[in-house]
Amino acid sequence: MVNETDFTRDVSISDFTKTTFDETWKTINGKNPLVRNHYNEYKFKVSKLNSENDFYEVVFRLYDDGFAYRYIFPNEAIPDSLFIAKELTQLNFKNDFTYWAYQVENTQFGSD
Q: Which domain holds residue 6?
A: 1-112
pLDDT score of 8: 80
- Count structural domains, the chain: 1
The per-residue pLDDT for 13 is: 93
Whole-structure pTM value: 0.72
23-59 residue pLDDT tens: 999 998 878 899 999 999 999 999 989 887 788 899 9
Q: Using CB atoms within 10 A of its CB, is residue 61 exposed (0-12), middle (13-18) or buried (19+)?
A: middle
